[in-house]
Amino acid sequence: MAKATFLEAIRQAQHEELERDESVFMMGEDIRCNVFGTTTDFVEQFGKERILDTPISENGFIGAGAGAAMVGMRPIIDATISSFLYPAMDQICSIIAKSRYIYGGQARLPLVIRSCMFYGNSNAAQHSDRPYAMFMNMPGLKIIAPATAYDMKGLLKAAIRSDDPVLCFEDSTCWMSKSELPDDPDFIIPLGKGDIKREGSDITVVAVAGAVPIALKAAAQLEKEGISLEVVDPRTLVPLDRELILQSVRKTGRAICVDPAHMTCSAASEISAHIAENAFDALKGPVLRVTTPDTHLPFSPPIEKPLYPSVERVVGAARRLMNAQQPVEA
């Protein structure tokens, strides 16, 4: 095992699965020119027949990927940025998500759609979306949102091997983070299994994607004040490891959900509702959400950056929750 970045984990996962299974191929925007370093030397190793550049037509090439999956191939589709999924909503929601159901289980769609959540760097309103919650509302799709290089590699390999369509949301704020990556070509992390990133006793913090390192920093800061946070990383949003979340909340009696996406109908909202419906008797205070407000994201860094979850906002929510006698807002 050697330490490698989040981006290198993506490259390794794809490389290993391309080597393992000849039905695996890649298609998408600018993948041959290796924009983010996740397809280094792929054309030389696997040929242009398996590493396909596409026109800038997301509805077209994602639809082509769906057709390839239906006839036995395993495409990895690189949509580059998550905001670019919107032009392909018809293919994703009407065809990819529903085909197994409408064909009575006779159709399989073993495909992965990768996209980067490219926010926090003045990418403005049309390139800063974190839209995974929209797709959580569409049955038939699995969704992964890793926060570490280790999880990225294991989950992506499991997604490529899955017979169901998987949307892979890659948080750009995690790109330079490093983990020890297993060399075993059969290393995978099963979809639907969350992870306790830090054990604690006072508050459960369920953190999504790039919110995980923020929650861990908040936990380290609050430890000095005698407040113990348990940080739960769902890793997979669909299927969600609901029991792991409930086990933690029943232990701590308090919960904060931290999510880089907008608050309304967010992953944080679904997780909060799940806790309130199934662990209400264990709660010592309200379930709080630390999210991005329901506003489009500006270009201006001084205006943009305070909108996202931060260590300060998580620390503030935890302090208020520990002292809460009345309902409070994050």
172 with 248, same domain: the answer is no
Residue that is last in its domain, among 136, 155, 181 = 181
DSSP state of 263: S
- Please report, rounded to a whole number, the percentage of residues in the chain having pLDDT higher than 70: 98
For residues 134 and 36, state if they share a domain. yes
The per-residue pLDDT for 123 is 78
Secondary element (H or E) of residue 280: none
Is residue 243 in some structural domain? yes
pTM equals 0.94
Q: Give the helix, strand, coil percentages of the chain, each rounded to 5.
A: 40, 20, 40
pLDDT at 33: 83
The neighbour count for residue 193, using CB atoms within 10 Å, is 15
Residue 2: per-residue pLDDT: 87
d(CA 312, CA 236): 26
pLDDT digits (tens, 9 = 90+) for 124-148: 778 888 899 999 999 999 999 999 9
| Residue 328 counted as domain residue | no
142 shares its domain with 202: no
Q: Are residues 147 and 252 in the same domain?
A: no
Q: Domain for residue 55, yes or no?
A: yes
Residues 299, 171, single domain; the answer is: no
Which has the closest alpha carbon to 238: 148, 157, 161, 133?
133
Q: What is the pLDDT, as a whole number, of residue 327?
A: 46
139 and 247 fall within a common domain:
no
pLDDT, greater one: 324 or 73: 73
**21 within a domain of the structure (yes/no):** yes
- d(CA 201, CA 255) in angstroms, rounded, equals 11
User: Is 47 a residue whose pLDDT tops 80?
Assistant: yes
CA distances from 28 to 7, 108, 146 (A): 17, 21, 21
Nearest partner of 195 among 238, 149, 232, judged by Cα: 232
Question: Of 80, 314, 100, 64, which is closest to residue 212 (Cα–Cα)?
Answer: 314
- Average pLDDT (197-210) is 98
User: Which of 130, 148, 181 is at the close of a domain?
Assistant: 181
Whether 314 has a pLDDT exceeding 50, the answer reads yes
Average pLDDT, the chain: 94
> Do 57 and 140 have their domain in common?
yes
**175 in the same domain as 101:** yes
Do residues 36 and 165 share a domain? yes
Task: Tell me what the mean pLDDT of segment 80-107 comes to.
Answer: 94
- Distances in Å between the Cα of 176 and the Cα atoms of 36, 57, 124, 288 are 12, 29, 22, 29
Does residue 127 have an active-site annotation? yes
- 249 and 171 in one domain? no
Burial class (CB in 10 A: 0-12, 13-18, 19+), 150: buried
User: How much is the pLDDT for 330?
Assistant: 53
Angle between the N-to-C axes of helices 242-252 and 267-278, in degrees from 0 to 180, rounded to the nearest 10: 60
CA dist., res. 148 & res. 5, Å (int): 9
Would residue 330 count as lying in a domain? Answer: no
| Residue pair 114/63 in contact by the 8 Å Cβ criterion | no
Question: Where is average pLDDT lowest: 120-124, 192-196, 253-257?
Answer: 120-124
Which tens digits make up the pLDDT trace of 144-165? Answer: 999 999 999 999 999 999 999 9
Active-site hit among 15, 127, 274, 296? 127
Number of domain units in the chain: 2
Range of the domain at 204: 195-322
